[in-house]
Structure 1
Amino acid sequence: MPSRGSKQKKRATMRLVYIDFWSALKMSFLVSIIVAAITVVIGLLIWSALERFGLVAAASNFLEDIAGAQGADLVAGLTFPNVMTFTLVVALLEVIVVSALGAIFAALFNLAVHVVGGWKVTFGSD
């Protein structure tokens, strides 16, 4: 009867030689949607914190004291709608760029596999 310590470890070695282009595009799109939502939420939280602590008004008063009306004009455009519009534009661009990068990575991987022979992956139970 074999003892508990002499259990054999099972391992399976495989090579990843192809990434489906459309699957990579869909997966990177889903990841980018999640990251975009997090970006919008973080933008909203940062704006709320800055507004609650009065840092936007303090910056406006500080710049007005230093540069007069021109200093106040620098912060005049820093409103909630403008900040959220900027955040949404950044999130939209992020969705486009991350989705494209996922697809490009899959295409480059599929081209590189012909040169290097794939990516060796080992699965095992320890």
Structure 2
Amino acid sequence: MSNTVADKLARKTRKKAPAKQVRLKLVYVDFWSAVKYSFLVSLCLAIVGTVAMILIYTVLVQTGVLDKVNELFMDVVAGDDFNLSKILGFPQVAGFAVVVGVLNTIVGTALGAVAALIYNLLVRVLGGFQLGFTSN
């Protein structure tokens, strides 16, 4: 076993430095960052919701569930005059899904902005969150 300077340096670099811990306080949330983040999250959820609604509709049509519900509705409530499949067609369901997604995006973005404003106001009274960080 050789004890050269290179071996000693290689052994020193293998040793891990001790992890340092830092405690920080979150005292401010940037308004525009919160708005952008909440917009992107709301947009992703709107896309997922729209696709899910269209897929669920497609599965219900392919399995014949909507036809059975239409028959039951005509027998119990409306008679032969009324056809439920005209109201629950694919264009109507897709349009409704898109409208709900757009509204959810607007409301989600507004809620993110309001949450950032409320947090920034409450920090003045309560002092913010105490957070602990460590380095690896």
User: Normalising by the residue count of structure 1, what TM-score does the alignment of the two structures yield?
Assistant: 0.86
Shifted more, 21-30 versus 62-71: the winner is 62-71
Secondary structure, in 3 states, of the residue corresponding to 1:103?
helix
TM superposition outliers: structure 1 runs of 4+ over 6 Å? none
From 37, 40, 43, give the equivalent of 1:33: 43
Gaps of 5+ in 2: 1-16
Give, as a single letter, the amino acid of the residue that structure 2 aligns with 1:77: I
Amino acid at match of 2:101: A
Deviations 1:39-59 (A, max 9, x none): 111011101110110111111
Q: Residue 97 of structure 1 aligns to which amino acid in structure 2?
A: V
Q: Deviation of residue 63 (structure 1)?
A: 1.7
Runs of at least 5 residues in structure 1 that lack an aligned partner in the other structure: 1-6
Q: CA RMSD in A?
A: 1.9
Matches within 5 A, 1:5-84: 9-69=19-79, 72-84=82-94
TM-score in terms of structure 2 length: 0.80
Cα deviation digits, residues 5-34 of structure 1 (max 9, x gap): xx8553110000000101100110011110
Q: Shift of residue 102 of structure 1?
A: 0.4
**Count of matched residue positions in the alignment of Structure 1 and Structure 2:** 120
Q: Larger Rg: 1 or 2?
A: 2
Structure 1 CA distance for aligned equivalents of residues 81 and 125 of structure 2: 59
